[in-house]
Structure 1
Amino acid sequence: MPPRLNIPPVTRTILLVLTVQSLLNAAIRYRQWTSNSNIVIPYLVFVPQLSIVYPWTLLTTTFVENNVFTLAISAATIFHGGRYLERAWSSAELAKFVAIVSVIPTVLSFATLVTFFTLTGNEGWTLTVIAGTVSLQISLLVAFSQLVPAHTVTLFRGILSLRVPRFPILYICAVAVLAMTPLMTSASFFLATYGFLTSWTYLRFYKRVFPDLDSSQPTSLRGDASETFALAEFFPGPVKPVVASLSTAVFDVLVSLRICTPFSQAEISAARGDNNFIQRTAPGGARAEAERRRALALKALDQRLQAAASNSAARSQPTSSTPPPPREPTGPTVQTQPGASTQTAMTTQPTAMLGETNYTPDNEGMDKGSA
């Protein structure tokens, strides 16, 4: 009997909706297909010029794929990524995350296409289909980069090794190339870019993080102030200084506009691991969070181990160099004392001992004199 797949509820629902909507989209397009027509379904996928009267398409369009190739990749990504994050975060947190990274990139892509139409007058921009799980897939990669920033993936038997934070940028590059082919629309590149920025912004500044039950932290915190999750960490080394200075300038502007708030001292301390802060999540979340914190705590842990080893060596040094004092000689034990000595001690009168007092009653002395 084959093993039963254990898929959490939110991940299972997303896979079901993706499969049903993609098959429905394919069936409708097949029935209406002609050689001279480009069929779109504005009540299922989002088309800027046609879907304004169908507001639910801002969410449903994310779970529609137009071909078998992208559908297979989407299903595999959601199956593995969704299961991992749902067990690490909880079902409610994953559902909230999926809704955010589905709707906001679609709205931003819609605004971008309308802007291009305004600038160029080309109506083709407003007829571009905004659909697919591109924004969701790259958001899952960003979430993995937060949970396991130090993890390295080895490809082609060790020929290529990449850290997890490099994958979102590589994904955007791959989507930019595929957008030039019939496999993806030109809007896919905008979905990938806005999905990356939306998911990183939410995880960096807004996602609630709860302390572990054994922690002394009284309240929940928001965001992730760790240095390993900075925006510049997703880019190659030569580009990091430029991205860091640019992101800092944008953040300062957002703070001045009161859109974002600076991190508190408690959040910075939690990110550095100064107060043993661990996120309280569903089973398995503590392990994932601990793996993320491990990259930040390796240096401090090494210093503590060295200090403990030196203190232990200092305590054991005089003990090992100084010989133990000689033991005082003791009398024979009960087992080694001869039986004759024991019998003599029981039948003879005890000898006088130092400090012993002999008491003789007066009547006994008078009886002896008269005798």
Structure 2
Amino acid sequence: MPPRINIPPVTRIVLIVLGLQSVLSAAIRYRQWTANSEIVIPYLNLIPQLSLVYPWTFLTTTLVESNVFTLSIACVALYHGGRYLERAWSSREFAKFLLIAALVPNVVCFGTSIVFFALTRDERWTLMPIAGTIPLQISFLVAFSQLVPAHTVTLFRGLLSMRVPRFPLLYIGVVTLLCVTPMLTAASFFLAAYGFLVSWTYLRFYKVAFPDLDTSQTASLRGDASETFAIAEFFPGPVRPLITAISDQVFNVLVAMHLCVPFSAADISAARGDHHHTFTHRGAPGSARAEAERRRALALRALDQRLHAATATAAARAQSAPVPPAVVPPIPSASGPTVQSQPQATAQNPMTAPQAGGGGLLGETNYNPDGDGHGDRNGP
């Protein structure tokens, strides 16, 4: 029997919708194809000049791929990235992340096309399809950069080694090169850039922080104030001071507009892993080790609960089992020896009656699981 592929619910729904819409788009293109016309589908793809009467396209256009190559990459990215993030965050948080990472870049890209049309009066900007899973793919890379910032990926048998926070910019570079070819349009570059900024902003300032399982407090802290998740960490070392200066100015403007809230000293201390706080940010230094310890503690806790449940079940079965009737020995006949003539026991059986103080032949075993002070006093 082949092994069952376990896909979380939100990831499964996204993959199904991506496949259905892409196949439908391909069928429509195949049926309407001509050598001298470019086919657009305004009720599936977001077309700035035509899709205002189809408002759902601002969301559905993300799950439409126009060729087999991009569809294959999208399926692989959504399958692996979706499974990992949905299990790490929960289905609700993952669905919220997908909604923001898909909708906001499409809206901003729509506005960018209108601006370029107003500046150039080139109608191609308003007839350019805005579609594809590019904003979701780069948002996954940004999320991985938060979860495992110190992880290094080695490719081509050690010829290329790169840390995870370097992949978003590399992805944008690859998309930019493909925009020169007929495979991608100029809208793909804007989707990649806006997807990077939107996903980082949401994870940095708005997403509910992951609570520490060792405490009973609720998850009320938002964002990730760790230094490893600063936007400058995505760029090479020589340009980081410039990126830091620009990002600080932009952040001050957003704070003045009440769009962002500055981090408090408690938030920064929590992101650095201060033990006086009750939340652990996954983007903090050493968070990969902390995550491994958390998973280990969960596994040990689950194993302990299963052992307790099995012990309780066995005890309940033993108590409910019927007690066998006592066997009465037969009465000796009159011709047998009398009680006075039977041999008397001269000593206790060492196998059944231990001596006082636990000094029997086989000794005595004391089991004290709680360690209440009656055992060895020389222990830790």
Q: TM-score, normalized by length of structure 1?
A: 0.75
Give the whole-Å Cα distance in 2 for the aligned partners of 1:169 and 1:270.
28
- Residue 136 of structure 2 corresponds to 136
How far did 1:211 drift? 2.1
Give the whole-Å Cα distance in 2 for the aligned partners of 1:290 and 1:22.
35
**Aligned partners of 1:232 and 1:244 also within 8 Å:** yes
Deviations 1:236-266 (Å, cap 9, x if unpaired)?
Answer: 0111111011001110111112111101222
How far did 1:212 drift? 2.4
Give the whole-Å Cα distance in 2 for the aligned partners of 1:274 and 1:124.
54
1:180 aligns with 2:180: yes
Give the whole-Å Cα distance in 2 for the aligned partners of 1:191 and 1:115.
15
1:198 aligns with 2:198: yes
Deviations 1:27-85 (Å, cap 9, x if unpaired)?
Answer: 01111111111011000010000001100000000000000000000000010000000
- Residue 260 of structure 1 corresponds to 260
| Cα distance change, pair 213–47 in 1 and its aligned pair in 2 (3 A) | same
| Structure 1 segment 1-371 matched on structure 2, within 5 A | 1-215=1-215, 217=217, 220-275=220-275, 277-278=278-279, 293-294=285-286
State the superposition RMSD in angstroms: 1.7
SS in 2 for 1:161: strand
| Identical amino acids, percent of aligned pairs | 66
Give the whole-Å Cα distance in 2 for the aligned partners of 1:156 and 1:124.
41
**Aligned partners of 1:150 and 1:292 also within 8 Å:** no
AA of the residue aligned to 1:221: L
AA of the residue aligned to 1:294: G
How far did 1:270 drift? 1.4
**Aligned partners of 1:42 and 1:54 also within 8 Å:** yes
**Aligned partners of 1:168 and 1:196 also within 8 Å:** yes
More displaced, 264-273 or 173-182?
264-273
Higher relative contact order (CA 8 A, sep 6+): 1
Give the whole-Å Cα distance in 2 for the aligned partners of 1:277 and 1:9.
30
Which entry has the higher C-alpha Rg, 1 or 2?
Answer: 1
**Aligned partners of 1:135 and 1:192 also within 8 Å:** yes
Whose helix proportion is higher, 1 or 2?
A: 1
Give the whole-Å Cα distance in 2 for the aligned partners of 1:143 and 1:216.
26
SS in 2 for 1:168: helix
| Cα distance change, pair 102–153 in 1 and its aligned pair in 2 (3 A) | same
AA of the residue aligned to 1:36: N
**Aligned partners of 1:46 and 1:61 also within 8 Å:** yes
**Aligned partners of 2:208 and 2:223 also within 8 Å:** yes
**Aligned partners of 1:210 and 1:220 also within 8 Å:** no
**Aligned partners of 2:42 and 2:50 also within 8 Å:** yes
- Residue 299 of structure 2 corresponds to none
| Cα distance change, pair 291–176 in 1 and its aligned pair in 2 (3 A) | closer
How many residues are treated as equivalent by the alignment?
A: 289
Give the whole-Å Cα distance in 1 for the aligned partners of 2:195 and 2:76.
19
How far did 1:269 drift? 1.7
AA of the residue aligned to 1:163: R
Give the whole-Å Cα distance in 1 for the aligned partners of 2:136 and 2:190.
13
Give the whole-Å Cα distance in 2 for the aligned partners of 1:137 and 1:66.
16
Give the whole-Å Cα distance in 2 for the aligned partners of 1:92 and 1:246.
34
**Aligned partners of 1:148 and 1:292 also within 8 Å:** no
Give the whole-Å Cα distance in 1 for the aligned partners of 2:120 and 2:218.
55
AA of the residue aligned to 1:251: F
